Structure 1
């Protein structure tokens, strides 16, 4: 019997797995890709910790910067915990072999990212997430943690508000499996896939864990808050990390003018770039003045990506960029122990809302959250497993329902091409539920999404095979995306103000009297979406 089943093998999932194993749990990690392909690998800039290796810094300053960036939507208890545990997180990562960039005295190097009051982000060139991820995976393999790769999560098996395991499709056979566990941790990533074609995220990031959570009885919170990274390559949307600006890169328009402080918080910088583009300007990052030797040493990934995807050399050329969807601040609502409303079901990383990012995540805090809160979730799930008896799930009602659903999909009429609808959703989300929003645009997108929900039975698949049927899996992903899209839009329509990453041109100011410290909560009752705004729990 599995003690702790973890959904997702990225930074949060692997951190949770290692912590649970250290606490004596029998751990299995389930993922639809291999861990080394997780979204964590795309994080470039750094991981925050108040070490003070480069200039003065303090935990209190880290807490203050995070609270300020959250725009009243941060929980100071959780933020304090995150920031206080950051130095230990870096020491732990260092102890298991993370190859951080170093200062001449051997200490971990640090750089300044947007919204920070000092040089706080520890980094490994501009491959920080990738290096951390590979180190965690190596450690997990050494710890004999079991991996079920290429398993697609369908739903959580829940009885009497207790999680008993999951249902999932084994990709190589196409069979639906029921996998029992004493406790489950969701670490499946965010839902920026809604902005398909306009996101830094991989195509695998479709919100499957978040969608399954609301179906299982969990509450989702603050889903309208999506962070738009200011600097993605213009044509591909591939990330040019904050490291480029943190190391001294300039943002300039077509006239060569610098129009914003490059190290302002991401919401401010993204909005400034969007306004330049809307006025007819092109926008670029200029790192030419940093010199070829420095670029090769500190920004090698940005150098390669610009050459590969834009056909320009940033040593001599400007890098054309645009802001795109990057990170989801909202997610599965969790308590201070990282447990959801469902007993034994925990969540950590980008899929969870632990109230540390609020309306606008501070750059460098996402990797930190995956480590600190991933490990806490692992410890708490292991404790839950020790204190609760094992359960049997092979013939659960959820398993039968999901097996019948998967078997029925090939019989759908396939009158409508869901791939076209998926691309269309990405475009209208970016345009009307993106950096700048208004009620008319949001309601128009919501109407389109609800029409897609009605049309799903007419959006079948062409591939009727069972083994590695990506057509079928992408159809299920699209269903999850459509389900979450409604949640995002209802929250965005209801929040009649501008706050952090949520910018309403029809309500351009923060309304602290009505929305200060107020979160949007969404859940389902008999399959119907419910939503309300409520003050800090």
Structure 2
């Protein structure tokens, strides 16, 4: 099947890209391994930043300043400036297509303060902001007749190499329903597959689909990755389930308390600082709690209904009357596929947007409320630019032969004898990463983790799938996801070992200070696994 633009991923970034590519005149197909409404976008509960000044004085300049400060010197100022200047228009666009934002008494879009912000800047819809944005975008795509094909698992990006130039010409996917390989030809491909926090297994707020498939596939296609060591830990996940309790709870006035009822940090500091403060309390043997009891039942039910439901469902406590037991877990990956100012990778025609991409606006620590903003601003840009690019490219080769190639790879996996469980290895990796590649790191523990990853990679020939069927073989898909995560684990560790300093979400106890002379630059990983630094 051929189109102008193929989009991999149907979360917020993918759907915004699809809408804008379609409205730019391109024929668009969206492929997603699950369903659009299950995307990670729905977990962005707190709000989307824009300096509307509806809840007090604010400015685009202040938004820029807050973002750069949170990034610890690693954000690209021009990219941040573009993001923040486009924010007001992005929210107005969402409002125009029907996102049901919460409103002030005078009917303006309601805003709240999130960590690291100097003003109430996050536009919100109760504590369901991402979910309501996602559903509105999906409705918009359906109304425009944009083709969305679900249960298509990304296998590889198909590229053409000529005259020292690599360009994308399509993608291969596994149709989970039929078990068949399908090829989609397009001169422009947009990667919108989300982040890679699931390498932490149960120690993450992310869903089981956040396995970094698009990032790993892009690396194999020749794209560069950057800043892979920077993984943000959200300070407040439920202790037993790692379910996210939104920053909106702290933005609304929630307190962080230790076992003896003491507030031990400023709850609205940037996330890296709050997460480390909680980690330090836990290292002392303290339990840590989020307290929103003083906000009152009426306020909680109006502004934080989801947080109350989650606490009751997963912890069997009611935050109206009880403390919420919490812990920090992996939440957002700042690193990803390196893109330029047009959202294109170094592979011609291959664009990336959302959490899988690195637009250099988050640096070493993402400012709360900027993730939803990023996917709107750069999703609009990627969709428009991919459409323009496609109009100037002619079809120059038949890529249908890739069906046979990918089918043989999958058949080999199905026929492999499974002597080592990759599920057990994934759990082992998650535990190692949470302990050794988590909130605080040191070189010895990082090297130990890398050695463990190499041992697991050596055991890959002993791994396979027990399910030999073709139709709805989730066992096969999960094995492919595991291989992608294993590949990304190596890039994370190589980058974390090479960066011998502490910066934002990457905190090295053996090098606790920032070292601007050497490391005020982005780490770059190429397809050979080499780590270098570029400004």
TM-score bracket, normalised by the shorter chain, equals over 0.9
2:169 is aligned with 1:164: yes
Aligned equivalent of 1:195: 200
- Distance (whole Å) between structure 1 residues aligned to residue 529 and residue 187 of structure 2: 29
Residue pair 1:220, 1:333 contacting (<8 A) in 2 also: yes
Unpaired runs of at least 5, structure 2 = none
Instruction: Tell me what 2:533 maps to.
Output: 533
Q: Encode CA deviations 1:247-301: one digit per residue, 9 max, x unaligned.
A: 0000000000000000000000000000101110000000000000000000000
Partner of 1:37: 38
Partners in 1 of 2:287 and 2:398 — Cα distance?
A: 56
The 8 Å contact of residues 178 and 393 in structure 1, kept in 2 or not, is answered as no
Q: CA deviation at 1:532?
A: 1.2
Residue of structure 1 aligned with 2:510, choices 502, 506, 509: 506
Taking the TM superposition and a 5 Å limit, the aligned residue runs for 1:101-180 are 101-160=102-161, 161-180=166-185
Match of 2:522 in 1: 519
Where 1:437 maps in the other structure, the secondary structure is coil
Aligned-partner Cα distance in 2 for 1:209–1:258 = 41
Q: CA deviation at 1:402?
A: 1.9
Quote how far apart the aligned CAs of 1:393 are: 3.9
Q: What is the rounded CA distance, in whole Å, between the counterparts of 2:346 and 2:139 in structure 1?
A: 33
Q: After the TM superposition, which parts of structure 1 deviate over 4 Å for at least 4 consecutive aligned residues? A: none
Structure 2 partner of 1:488: 492
> Could you give the per-residue CA deviations for residues 23-73 of structure 1, whole angstroms, max 9, x where no partner exists?
001111000001000000111000000000011000000000001111111
**Alignment partner of 1:404 is 2:408:** yes
1:184-238 superposed Cα distances (whole Å, 9 cap, x missing partner): 0000000001101000000011000000000000000000000000000000000
Name the residue aligned to 1:362: 367
Helix, strand or coil at the partner of 1:229: strand
Alpha carbons 1:19, 1:379 under 8 Å: kept:
yes
Alignment of 1:306-317 (within 5 A): 306-317=311-322
Q: Deviations over 1:117-145 (max 9, x none)?
A: 00000000000000000000000000100
CA contact (8 A) 1:180 1:392 kept: no
CA distance in 1, matches of 2:358, 2:372: 14
CA contact (8 A) 1:33 1:150 kept: yes
User: 3-state DSSP class of the match of 2:223?
Assistant: coil
Note the alpha carbon deviations across 1:293-350, whole angstroms, 9 max, x for none.
0000000000000000000000000000000000000000000000001000000000
Q: Distance in 2 between matches of 1:507 and 1:77?
A: 30
- Equivalents in 2 of 1:93, 1:399: separation in Å? 39
Asked whether the equivalents of residues 498 and 531 of structure 2 are also in contact (C-alpha less than 8 Å), the reply is no
* Paired residues for 1:29-428 under 5 Å: 29-160=30-161, 161-396=166-401, 398-428=402-432
TM-score scaled by length of structure 2: 0.98
Tell me which residue corresponds to 2:453.
449
State how many pairs are aligned: 530
In structure 1, distance between residues paired with 2:187 and 2:499: 38
Over the residues paired in the alignment, what is the CA RMSD in angstroms? 0.8
TM-score (norm 1): 0.98
Could you say what secondary structure the match of 2:391 adopts?
helix
Q: Does 1:464 align with 2:468?
A: yes
CA contact (8 A) 1:165 1:393 kept: no
SS in 2 for 1:261: coil
Kindly indicate whether the alpha-carbon contact (under 8 Å) linking 1:164 and 1:393 is maintained by their aligned counterparts in 2.
Answer: no
